[in-house]
């Protein structure tokens, strides 16, 4: 069987995790957490990186830092994971879904522009498949209108836009280290605070709203409840697992890139023949091979292809049901303008097996199966 995903494991995670255990410091903010922060800051050039308990909690932390509430509007794609939306809906903000561009499945800056109102406070681009949104256009719009940009870069760790790391492009960037992502610690994430004005407050919010971080640094002589907050610190055991992967990120990304390029080259003929569509990588994007997806003619063909691949012991999966057509999406948001691409394109998309360690032979078997199906 060729699974869709295998949790990333580089090789020395065990050693690091044992060290964390033997340090007798397994809660948050120990030496492994610090090393992860330094490693992320070095990889991305961000002002401050903070590990979180998930990509979801990184987004929730960002929403708190943006101070959004009832009456504020947040513009985001409908083609994304529920967490992108929940974080802001939990603060009472209204979600405004904007359409995507069909070639990258990323939010279209022109559709953002049309959706902006007096109430718009935050724009949340999500870098689908680790291929960055047009951040020049999005940042320019935000600056012009005094809006904030929170990047959902959950899928984009180790990806770049015009040479700069995804997650370090907006005001706050959110990473996920869930086991389905390129780098993992089981459950986890990180917030990148690219604007210095968020750093101190972020340290308070993630420490249950207390100034414990300042206390540990000796800046105050007792710590107390000073702001809203939650429990967002990651454990040292998870941080140890992640550190091993961050230290070897170049090799892990190179492996995935080799498989991504193999799929891309091996499917060109089917694209040329008009059988299916392949992902586009716009100029300026250095992606991280988070995902390889194809687009079938329509949902019927996708269902048939998924079953055909399953018959060959190959697991291929689709996502997302557009948020604006979901029960909670209808309750907490609205789609701005016409849904030209979100629903139509999402129904055609199928993700192929992709993980660190996927062999060239298995990738070849997937390519052979796809060619057989389209014979």
Ligand X SMILES: *Cc1c(COP(=O)(O)O)cnc(C)c1O
Q: How far apart are CA 159 and CA 166, in angstroms?
A: 6
Select from 80, 194, 234, 346 the one that contacts ligand X (CB under 6 A): 80
Instruction: Please report whether residue 78 would count as binding ligand X according to CB under 6 A.
Output: no
> Would you say 51 and 233 are in contact if contact means Cβ atoms under 8 Å apart?
yes
Tell me the number of residues near ligand X by CB under 6 A: 14
Task: Fill in the per-residue mask, 111 to 130: x = in contact with ligand X (CB under 6 A), - = not in contact.
Answer: ---------------x----
| Distance of closest approach, residue 179 Cβ to ligand X, in angstroms | 9
Cα dist from 308 to 144, 207, 311, 314, 315, whole Å: 50, 49, 5, 9, 10
166 phi/psi in degrees, rounded to 5: -60, 140
Asked if 81 is part of the footprint of ligand X (rule: CB under 6 A), the reply reads yes
Q: How far is the CB of 351 from ligand X (least distance, A)?
A: 12
Out of 86, 139, 176, 182, which residue is the one contacting ligand X (CB under 6 A)? 176
> Which one-letter DSSP state was computed for residue 137?
H
Nearest approach, Cβ of 51 to ligand X (angstroms)? 12
154 binds ligand X (CB under 6 A): yes
Q: What is the rounded CA–CA span in Å between residue 180 and residue 101?
A: 24
Q: x/- contact string, 221-260, with ligand X (CB under 6 A)? A: ----------------------------------------
**Residue 167 touching ligand X (CB under 6 A):** no
One residue of 44, 54, 184, 213 binding ligand X per CB under 6 A:
54
**Phi and psi at residue 182, in whole multiples of 5°?**
-60, -35
For β-strands 94-98 and 73-77, DSSP reports them as parallel
For the chain, what is the largest distance between any 2 Cα atoms, rounded to a whole number of angstroms?
A: 73
The reply on whether position 56 binds ligand X by CB under 6 A is yes
Among the candidate windows 88-96, 147-155, 200-208, 307-315, which touches ligand X by CB under 6 A? 147-155
The first and second tokens of residue 99, run together, are 């359409």
Question: Nearest residue to ligand X, using CB?
Answer: 55
Query: Residues 305, 312: contact at Cβ < 8 Å?
Result: no
CB distance 2 to 353 below 8 Å: yes
Q: Does 155 bind ligand X (CB under 6 A)?
A: yes
- Letters for 189-208 (x = contact with ligand X by CB under 6 A, - = none) are x-------------------
- Helices H, strands E: what count in the chain? 14, 13
> Closest distance between ligand X and the C-beta of residue 126, in Å?
5
Name the residue among 278, 239, 244, 245 with its Cα closest to residue 356.
245
Q: Are 51 and 38 in contact (CB under 8 A)?
A: no
Residue 105 or 370: which CB sits closer to ligand X?
105
In the complex with ligand X, the residue whose CB is nearer, 186 or 266, is 186
Applying CB under 6 A, the residues found at the interface with ligand X are 54-56, 80-81, 83-84, 126, 152, 154-155, 176, 178, 189
């Amino acid at each position: 069987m060729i699974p869709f995903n295998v949790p990333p494991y580089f090789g020395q995670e065990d050693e690091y995790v044992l060290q964390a255990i033997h340090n007798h410091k397994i809660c948050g903010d120990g030496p492994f957490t610090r090393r992860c922060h330094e490693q992320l800051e070095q990889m991305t050039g961000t002002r401050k990186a903070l590990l979180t308990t998930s990509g979801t909690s990184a987004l929730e932390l960002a929403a708190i830092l943006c101070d959004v509430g009832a009456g504020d509007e947040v513009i985001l794609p409908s083609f994304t994971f529920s967490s992108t939306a929940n974080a802001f809906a939990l603060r009472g903000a209204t979600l405004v879904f904007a359409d995507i561009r069909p070639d990258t499945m990323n939010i279209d800056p022109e559709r953002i522009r049309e959706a902006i109102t007096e109430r718009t406070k935050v724009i949340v681009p999500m870098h689908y498949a680790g291929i960055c949104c047009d951040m020049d256009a999005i940042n320019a719009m935000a600056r012009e209108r005094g809006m904030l940009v929170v990047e959902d870069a959950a899928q984009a760790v180790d990806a770049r836009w015009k040479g700069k790391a995804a997650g370090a492009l907006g005001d706050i960037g959110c990473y996920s280290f869930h086991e389905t992502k390129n780098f993992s610690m089981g459950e986890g994430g990180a917030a990148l605070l690219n604007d210095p004005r968020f750093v101190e407050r972020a340290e308070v919010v993630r420490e249950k709203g207390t100034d414990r971080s300042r206390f540990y640094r000796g800046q105050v002589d007792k710590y107390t409840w000073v702001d809203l907050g939650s429990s967002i610190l990651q454990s040292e055991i998870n941080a140890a697992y992640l550190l091993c992967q961050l230290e070897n990120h170049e090799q892990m990304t190179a492996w995935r890139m080799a498989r991504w390029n193999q799929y891309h080259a091996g499917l060109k003929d089917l694209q040329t023949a008009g059988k299916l569509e392949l992902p586009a990588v716009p100029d300026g994007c250095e992606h991280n091979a988070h995902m390889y997806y194809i687009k079938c003619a329509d949902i019927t063909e996708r269902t048939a292809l998924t079953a055909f691949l399953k018959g060959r012991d190959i697991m291929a999966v689709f996502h997302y049901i557009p948020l604006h057509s979901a029960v909670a999406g209808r309750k907490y948001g609205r789609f701005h303008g016409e849904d030209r691409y979100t629903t139509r394109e999402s129904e055609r998309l199928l993700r192929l097996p992709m993980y660190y360690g996927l062999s060239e032979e298995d990738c070849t078997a997937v390519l052979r199966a796809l060619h057989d199906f389209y014979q």
